[in-house]
Amino acid sequence: MKEKIDVEARVEVARNLFKSGYNCSQSVFMAYADIYGIDKNFAARLTGPMGGGMGRLREVCGAVSGAFLVAGQEFSAENPDDREAKTKNYAVVQELADAFKRENGSIICRELLGLVADAKESHIPSERTEEYYKRRPCAEYVAIAARVVGERINKNRE
């Protein structure tokens, strides 16, 4: 049995990563990467495109995508013939999505941010100013996603 993790410590790491300039997906994934022996730079490169609801498309929240990628490490499904592992992996992803949605009402970035549907956004990331952090609840979404996946990991390790 694997050792349980300190979820609240991971939540703070994720929140701090976001506040230091990493995107939502990077922040959640990087907060857990070391547990799985994943290099910080590789983790940042892997998850970079997922921020802003996937490249600022405002689709699935990047924090949620980051949590799904963490779940993929804990609930691996790398063998294409292992239907049991795939089933478990997909079930966990759906559990995480449901948990995040229960707390926030959606897993869709534009809905979470109250943006107009079908409004085209620029690919240019927002400047990270004090005003940005006051206006955007993303740091809290990062914390929630990090908490939800950490709690699920610990449940697996009981």
State pLDDT tens for residues 123-144.
888 888 888 878 889 999 999 9
Nearest 5°: phi and psi at 60? Answer: -60, 130
Nearest 5°: phi and psi at 124? Answer: -80, 125
Residue 2 lies in a domain: no
pLDDT at 112 over 80: yes
Residue 152 lies in a domain: yes
The SS3 assignment for 132 reads helix
Residue 59 lies in a domain: yes
pLDDT attached to residue 97: 98
Residue 79 lies in a domain: yes
Residue 132 lies in a domain: yes
Average pLDDT, stretch 6-25?
A: 97
pLDDT at 19 over 90: yes
Return the residue matching tokens 């996603």.
145
pLDDT at 1 over 80: no
> In the chain, how many domains are there?
1
Residue 14 lies in a domain: yes
Residue 127 lies in a domain: yes
Residue 144 lies in a domain: yes
In terms of Cα–Cα distance, which of 62, 29, 67 is closest to 149? 67
Note down the domain range covering 127: 7-156
Tokens, residue 35: 């547990």
